A and B are shown apart, each in its own frame.
Chain A
Amino acid sequence: MSSAVPFWRAAGMTYIGYSNMVASAVRKCLKEPYRSEALGREKVHFTISKWSDGKPEKPTLRTDSAEE
């Protein structure tokens, strides 16, 4: 890991994004009964909207995409 750090940091990823990618790689290595169970824990769903000048911008939906 220590050698990989500068690279993903340079790509604009945070540690969270990096660990998520690693985690999903590990989940994909699992065998079947555990695999689908573990993949079920990867579901992402929320809406996020940034605010500027006291008004919300159009909300964006983040769904089922662990990485950007």
Chain B
Amino acid sequence: MAMAALRREGRRFLLSPNPSPVLARSAICSEESSPIGVRGISTQIVRNRMKSVKNIQKITKAMKMVAASKLRAVQVRTENSRGFWQPFTALLGDVPSVDVKKNVIVTISSDKGLCGGINSTSVKISKSLFKVTAGPEKAVKYVILGEKGKVQLMRDSKNRIEMTISELQKNPLNYTQVSVLADDILKNVEYDALRIVFNKFQSVVSFLPTISTILSPEIVERESEAGGKLGDLDSYEIEGGETKAEILQNLAEFQFSCVLFNAVLENACSELGARMSAMDSSSRNAGEMLDRLTLTYNRTRQASITTELIEIISGASALTG
């Protein structure tokens, strides 16, 4: 017991009131093997810490590189895919303020984390959109793409989740995949308006949370009769033997898959950009931490060397003097 206590309090041992010589000797012997020194402070812990910080820095640097190289490919495709929804917006318009009964909020998030705040942004926007659209006699449902959004929305609105989709990004995103997904959503969800929430990619460091609204054909017809931007729809000439309702249904379905495709790509692009900047700042932080630790480490080492030198010199002068 006493030995253990002495070993633990090696530093205070010399000041203890009545150390018996035997105990003191064994304590000194054990001193040499134990990392806790009498004089010097152990640098072992700092060294280990430095090593782990260095490893973390390596990992974050590698992740940044990976995200940067992936981003370049996705960014080109995202910018090209913007041509998909622009004609639709020109034709049908984007009416986020439309007031309908059955709302479906399609939240797009990522499957993986470590990408800054983009998932919480789209979840936050979805929640506020829910508050805006919810009301008596109105149903609001969620369709969630991506693991991270699911986890966040499960907490308080799991009863309103209609569908979740994940593992979308295992292969590079393509239109076929997204359109099959859009098909599944259309077949399984009843809607008057689909509201897609995603992060629009602006640059590597800035993303704009965006809402795209897609109306069901009946609502488009109702709105176009009411006038406004959709009122111009009648001025288009329709070829073939189809009625306006059929055309509108086809258009609405195709619009949904196109807008979803663009949204998924934009979000993937933002995710990679966000991951890049997050990893960049974390490797910078790791570097700063490493600098601080190195400084502490060197200072401690210097101090212990100085102490040892003083002891040797004073011992030597005591012998000669």
Contact = CB atoms under 8 A, between A and B. Distances in A.
B86 interface: no
Given A5-B242, A14-B187, A16-B257, A44 B162 contact: no
A5 B246 CA distance: 9
B112 to A, nearest CB: 15
Given A2-B240, A47-B165, A48-B181, A16 B254 contact: yes
Give the size category of B's interface with A.
Answer: 35 or more
A43 B246 contact: no
Contacts of B179: 16, 19-20
B167 A47 contact: yes
B165 A48 contact: yes
Interface string B168-210: 1011001111011111101110000000000000000000000
Q: Is the interface of A mostly helix, strand, loop or mixed?
A: mixed
B180 A43 contact: no
Nearest to B239: A2
Interface residues of A, number: 32
B253 interface: yes
Contacts of B187: 14
B176 A23 contact: yes
B55 interface: no
A65 B171 CA distance: 14
Contact of A15 (B165, B176, B249): B249
A16 B174 contact: no
Contacts of A62: 180-181, 184
Contacts, number: 93
A53 B159 CA distance: 6
A50 interface: yes
Contact of A51 (B161, B167, B171): B161
A36 interface: no
Given A23-B176, A43-B171, A51 B183 contact: no
B174 A42 contact: yes
Given A2-B241, A54-B161, A46 B177 contact: yes
Contacts of B253: 14-16
Nearest to A1: B240
B158 A51 contact: yes
A45 B167 contact: yes
Interface of B: 158-159, 161-168, 170-171, 174-177, 179-184, 186-188, 239-242, 246, 249-250, 253-254, 256-257
